[in-house]
Amino acid sequence: MMNLLLLGLAACSSLTNAVPVPGSADVTNVLTRRAEVDSCPGYTASNVVTTDSGLTADLTLAGAACNAYSDDIKDLKLLVEYQNNERLHVKIYDAALTAFQVQEQILPRPKHENASAAEAAIQFGIKTSPFSFQVKRRENSEVLFDTGTVPLVFEKQYVRLRTSLPKNPNIYGLGEHSDSFRFHTQNYERVLLNAESPFIPNNANLYGTHPVYFDHRGDKGTHGVFLLNSSPMNIDIKQTDSGDQYLEYNTIGGVIDLYFMAGSKPADVSKQYADIVGYSAMYPYWTFGFHQCKYGYWDVNMVAEVVANYSTAGIPLEVMWTDIDYMNLRQDFTTDPDRFPLSKMRELVSTLHERDQRYVLILDPGVHSVGNYSTFEKGHEMDVFLKHADGTDNLGMQWPGAVVWPDWFAPNTQQWWTDQIQTTFNPENGIDLDGIWVDMNEASNFCKDQHCTPREQAIQDGNPPLPTNSPRPNTGRPIPGFPDSFQPTPSGVVSVKARNPKPLSGRVPKPVPARNSKSVSARQSAGGEMKGYPDREWFTPNYHINSHNGNISQSTIYFNTSNHDGTMQYDTHNFYGHMMAMTTHESMMSRRPKLRPFVLTRSTFAGSGRKVTHWFGDNESSWEHYRTSIRQMLSFVSMHQMPMVGSDVCGFNGNADPYMCARWALLGAFQPFYRNHAELSSIHQEFYQWPIVAEAGKKAINTRYKLMDYIYTALYYQTTTGAPMINPLFFLYPEDEQTFGIQEQWFYGDSLLISPVTNDSSDTVTYYLPDDIFYDYWTYTKVQGQGANVTVSNLTATDIPVHIRGGSIIPHRVNSANTTKALRKEDFFLLVAPDAEGKATGRLYLDDGESIEQPNMSEIVFSYEAGKFSATGSFGYAAASGESVTVAKVVVLGQDKAGAVGTFDSGKQMLEVQGPWTMSGVFGFQI
């Protein structure tokens, strides 16, 4: 039976909300509403029914409705499920089933395994009047979640739930943000409302919504809480006037759908979160290579020249990208006929593929709303665009001008989008790309609000800009390694000509039929289908979400827009980009059904990592954003189950400083996704532009490539177990209080501690070494960590401190290579770094690097103890032609004398044992 706790209720302090705009009337209104919320009656629980694996109850408003921000919902339901021994599900929802609930197709729910309450790691307790609940850890009675200090408020357009926290809590997660990794706890607010966010501002909502937090309590354990709610929300982590710490959800809709993860170790919470939102996709081996992009590559020849310049500089380049420059007037699924003609694009891609390199192009959600444009016309024919209630197109503005927006819920949208991708990017007569990048999909709307007229605004803003006759910059140079059509003509002029400008005024949209207005208006249900209340304020709800863009509908698709399934953008906005990315993933699966897709998205939602990747958006070429990239990576990989992430190396906006860019080249090499990308007006920042950056880039990429199988293995285990491939220090040292706030160091995998220089223009870094055995990665010197800071100076622009954690065995390639295909031909060597007891373990996953189905793969376990090295496990992967699965040597660190085998280096205190051993079965040796 469940334990029914009688919890005392304390008086509440105040509800935090938007900072009032100047004016006594506004201030009075906000304060009045706060007082009303604080005096709301809450609910009373009745008809409480308990079973061995759960509880249900009715919740009824306990007094007169306060209607502080909208209408109170009188009757609610409570559902409690012990889904397994480590996961508790608590759901509070309206009895009429009208309030919006996230659809199963967006986030499939985890299985309810009907665990026994008596054996569960976390326990639920209820107080019936006034209703509140408490969640505590069984083994030590630690209270993890307690709603007993202020009443629950559940209204049509406002839901509040508060939980108490311990003093000085360690709270992390709640992405996407650019704030500190461990949150501030006094007067701190997280806003979740997906929005275009140039320069990724601090203390603001960014591109994604991930309402999950980790609460780390040292030796008392770590737990996680996930709120499955897509509504825009403010989450406060603050203190009452009396100093009591709390976390408070304030949403403008939806239901309270909570999943509690018991942990109790930090990485356990990561794994349990993966059980809820899904395990990451396994990405192709080549995606760990180095990528290059810039908005503003003038034409296809310039793209080719960048590729050639990397080769000439001796800097490996795996993937070339092109931004919207390639499009005809910035329209999806087109190419500029003069600067990026299809024939030349096909030559570019075939040349890249011949060089074992890859190509990725961008797509945006806004589809130019003009006739004589097949993507738009076919979409209209298939009824895939969002509509107004009268059946006319819902217009906005993006790069191509006035646009329509795909309705990802419409039944034909997947097929339409797949058809466009397969037609434009087919290998026979299209652009045979290797991945797709979806951008602007929050969705960003250049029309600020509903008073905008998109077509007029596009003309006024000059969107899209007219092409010009300006010659291409840096024209006339040979492009080594590319066909004759890419080379200068005898006159010194490149073969791609500039376009004569043509006025856009003649591009009159063809009339399109309106959709039947009755069928559109009928989409919005009156209730009972969890699609949201029909009679809401769509633009300025009384409770204000503190978005940096202003009101909730500003600069995006307007929130009063109906989706095909009867839901509203008000409720589904935060996963619009998620749906675009998921749709693109399915299209890429259809295009190449046997190969793992690669889709990079700017906007994300909980569970996006199941299929797609993410970069941290439009950052800045600044030291602060260099540091920010570390914090963002830690959150996304270890807490949001999105492992293949990274920032625009050297920064997107503004001009990069060479010294900072060199440092960033090193830092980025130890992050999962590694791409250099810059904005249109920024100077070129390709690594070869400055000697100091070229040197740093070579070292960084060569080191990254040698370690590629190590981190590819870590990705594999995140996809199968949820164990993060990037670890904050407290994940590996959960009882060391000094690690709890560290946000500028991380473990690459679980063995390599990365400690970059983070002070502006400095050659000095102070990093923390836990009380453990480490080895300097570059010199192999053994270091005893003291649980204290270490300061190192005189670090050149090509230096980055890296330490191997004692107890690790790390697989390497003996040499780096120019491409990942060539890299796979290099033999392995294994680096053994024993711990204080002389033991070490490691692992290696091998497959073909790209196929979805892997019937023959290897999962090899390496161990070292008492001088004995062994390799066991499964050895199913037989290398493809030319690949190597040979271990050339094993290097054992921390040795003070020669052994029975191998060569002893007394200076480095290491023993090198030469192979070769083929990884087709068990092997080993005794030193």
370 versus 789: the higher-pLDDT residue is 789
Q: pTM for the full model?
A: 0.94
* The pLDDT of residue 900: 92
Q: What integer is the mean pLDDT of 194-215? A: 98
**767-806 pLDDT tens trace:** 999 999 999 999 999 999 999 999 999 999 999 999 999 9
Helices (H), 6-84: 24-38
User: Is pLDDT at 877 greater than 50 in this prediction?
Assistant: yes
Q: Please state the rounded mean pLDDT for residues 627-643.
A: 98
DSSP label of 114: -
> Mean pLDDT lowest for which of 291-305, 384-398, 502-516?
502-516
The verdict on whether 442 is a catalytic residue reads: yes
Bridge partners of 87, per DSSP, are 84, 261
Domain boundary among the residues 222, 244, 277 is at 277
Q: What CA–CA distance (Å, rounded) separates 328 from 456?
A: 21
Q: With 60 as the cut, is the pLDDT of residue 504 above it? A: no
Q: Is 301 helix (H, G, I), strand (E, B) or coil?
A: helix
Does the pLDDT value for residue 508 go beyond 60?
A: no
Q: What is the dihedral of CA 272, 276, 281, 287, to 10 degrees?
A: -70
Where residue 20 falls among pLDDT bands split at 50, 70, 90?
Answer: very low
How does DSSP assign 492-530, residue by residue?
Answer: S--SSPPPPP--STT-PPPP-PPPPHHHHHTTS-SSSSS
Listed residue (891, 912, 707, 698) closest to 812, CA to CA: 707
Work out the percent of the chain whose per-residue pLDDT is above 70: 92
Predicted confidence at residue 384, as pLDDT, reads 98
Residue with tokens 């700017």: 602
377-413 exposure pattern, b = at least 16 Cβ within 10 A, e = fewer: ebbbebbbbbbbeeeebbbbbbbbbbbbbbbbbbebb
End residue of a domain, out of 228, 243, 277: 277
**Average pLDDT of the residues in 373-379:** 97
Q: One of 155, 236, 439, 750 is an active-site residue; which one?
A: 439
Q: CATH number for the domain including 836?
A: 2.60.40.1180
With a cut of 90, say whether residue 65 has pLDDT above it: yes
Q: Establish if 520 belongs to a structural domain.
A: no
More confident residue, 689 or 26: 689
pLDDT band, residue 371 (cuts 50/70/90): confident
Instruction: Answer yes or no: is pLDDT of 5 > 50.
Output: no
- 679 domain residue, yes or no: no
Flag whether pLDDT at 242 surpasses 70: yes
Q: Give pLDDT, residue 526.
A: 44
b or e along 481-496 (b: 16 or more beta carbons within 10 Å of the residue's beta carbon)? ebeeebbeeeeeebeb
Query: How much is the average pLDDT of 668-678?
Result: 98
Residues 128-154, mean pLDDT to the nearest whole number:
97
Mean pLDDT along residues 259-275: 98
pLDDT score recorded for residue 494: 45
Is residue 573 included in any domain, yes or no?
no
Residue 840 maps to a domain = yes
Kindly report which listed range (396-405, 430-439, 501-510, 822-831) carries the lowest average pLDDT score: 501-510
Report the candidate in 883, 842, 598, 825 with the shortest Cα–Cα distance to residue 711.
842
Active site residue 58: no
Q: For residue 50, tell me if it sits in a domain.
A: yes
pLDDT at 14: 30
Question: What pLDDT score does 36 carry?
Answer: 78
Predicted confidence at residue 521, as pLDDT, reads 32
Confidence at 466, pLDDT banded by 50, 70, 90: confident
- Look at residue 519 and tell me whether its pLDDT is greater than 60: no
| Token digits of residue 402 | 């006035």
- Alpha carbon separation from 664 to 452, 537, 798 (Å, rounded): 41, 46, 10
Indicate if the pLDDT at residue 518 is higher than 50: no
Give the per-residue pLDDT at 29. 65
State what percent of residues in the chain have pLDDT above 90: 89
- Going by pLDDT thresholds of 50, 70 and 90, the confidence category of residue 390 is confident
Find the CATH number of the domain harbouring 263.
2.60.40.1760
Strand order in the sheet with 401-404: 367-368, 401-404, 395-398
Q: Which two tokens stand for residue 185?
A: 């706890």
479 belongs to a structural domain:
no
Examine residue 587 and state whether it is found in any structural domain, yes or no: no
Q: How confident is the model over 346-357, as a mean pLDDT?
A: 98
Domain count of the chain? 2
Instruction: Among 304-318, 503-517, 547-561, 618-632, name the one with the lowest average pLDDT.
Output: 503-517
pLDDT of 21 reads 41
Kindly name the residue from 442, 657, 772, 847 that is annotated as catalytic: 442
**Can 618 be counted among the known catalytic residues?**
yes
Pairing label, strands 840-846, 858-865: antiparallel
On whether residue 340 sits in a domain, the answer given is no
pLDDT at 528: 81
pLDDT at 493: 44
Query: The domain containing residue 74 runs over which residues?
Result: 37-277
227, 275, 276: which is closest to 93 by C-alpha? 227
Mean pLDDT score of the chain:
92
The pLDDT of residue 847: 97
520 pLDDT higher than 70:
no
Q: Which of 277, 305, 321 is the last residue of a domain?
A: 277
Residue 711 confidence (pLDDT): 98
CA distance 228 to 210: 9
* Candidates 364, 419, 618, 620; catalytic one: 618
Q: What is the pLDDT of residue 475?
A: 65
